[in-house]
């Protein structure tokens, strides 16, 4: 089953790399292309911070190194969880594979250039969501899937799972 985890993560990384390369080649930095006017556009921005531009204005010379270190630590944790869950292809494994692929995609950019290309830009009137990319999307979808597993799993499954861990 681990091969499916790897396939999911690799597909996320490949799609992320491809879309970022296309945006970098076809849309000048800070330019936009309307896709759905009034709602969605492709905008080429470079994020030197964390997800959704957090810490991007920080003048710290250690910012990129800390973001890389955090990404490597997150990848190590997710890898360990995937390894532990390696014989299953369930929602948890899929979620962890998405998070792994997304984290790897953004780490690739940070190591290569110290910044991440973001381009998916949603807005409505004066309300604007920070631009993001495919890797960010995979991380968020994976995290939401994990949260749904935690909070929406039937109580019987939680009890049985706890009993299996004890026994």
Q: Residues 96, 82: contact at Cβ < 8 Å?
A: yes
136: annotated active-site residue = yes
Average pLDDT over residues 39-54: 80
**Which tokens in the block code for residue 131?**
């631009």
Handedness of CA 128, 100, 76, 116 (dihedral sign): negative
| Mean pLDDT, residues 8-23 taken together | 98
What pLDDT is stored for residue 67 in this prediction? 81
Residue 53 vs residues 33, 56, 60, 69: alpha-carbon distances, Å: 20, 5, 15, 17
Q: Please identify which residue in the block is written with the tokens 């309300």.
A: 127
Q: Quote the mean pLDDT of the chain.
A: 87
Q: pLDDT tens digits for 64-85?
A: 777 889 899 999 999 999 888 7
Residue 50 has pLDDT above 70, yes or no: no
Q: 51 pLDDT exceeds 70?
A: no
What is the distance between the alpha carbons of residues 24 and 87, in angstroms, rounded to a whole number?
39
Cβ(23)–Cβ(117) under 8 Å? yes
Which of these, 23, 42, 24, lies nearest to 33 by C-alpha position? 42
User: Can you give the pLDDT at residue 88?
Assistant: 81
pLDDT above 90 (res 144): yes
Maximum mean pLDDT: which of 18-27, 127-136, 155-164: 18-27
Q: At what angle do helices 91-113 and 134-152 cross, to 10 degrees?
A: 150
Percent of the chain having pLDDT more than 70? 83
pLDDT tens digit sequence for 81-128: 988 877 788 999 999 999 999 999 999 999 999 889 999 999 998 899
CA gap 138, 146 in Å, rounded? 12
Is 121 known to be catalytic?
no
Catalytic, out of 16, 109, 121, 136: 136
Residue 159 has pLDDT above 60, yes or no: no
DSSP structure class, residue 87: T
Which of 16, 109, 118, 121 is labelled catalytic?
118
> Do 15 and 9 form a contact (C-beta atoms < 8 A)?
no
């Amino acid at each position: 089953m681990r091969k499916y985890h790897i396939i999911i993560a690799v597909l996320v990384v490949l799609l992320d790399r491809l879309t970022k390369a296309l945006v970098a080649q076809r849309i000048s930095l800070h330019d936009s292309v309307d896709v759905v006017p009034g709602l969605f556009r492709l905008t080429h921005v470079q994020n030197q911070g964390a997800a959704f531009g957090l810490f991007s204005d920080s003048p710290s010379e250690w910012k990129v190194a800390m973001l890389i270190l955090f990404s490597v630590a997150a990848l190590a944790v997710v890898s360990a969880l995937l390894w532990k869950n390696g014989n299953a292809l369930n929602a948890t494994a899929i979620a962890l594979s998405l998070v792994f692929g997304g984290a790897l995609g953004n780490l690739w950019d940070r190591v290569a250039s110290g910044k991440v290309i973001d381009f998916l830009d949603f807005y409505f009137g004066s309300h604007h969501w920070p631009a993001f990319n495919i890797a960010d999307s995979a991380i968020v979808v994976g995290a939401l899937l994990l949260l749904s597993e935690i909070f929406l799993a039937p109580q019987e499954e939680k009890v049985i799972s706890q009993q299996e861990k004890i026994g």
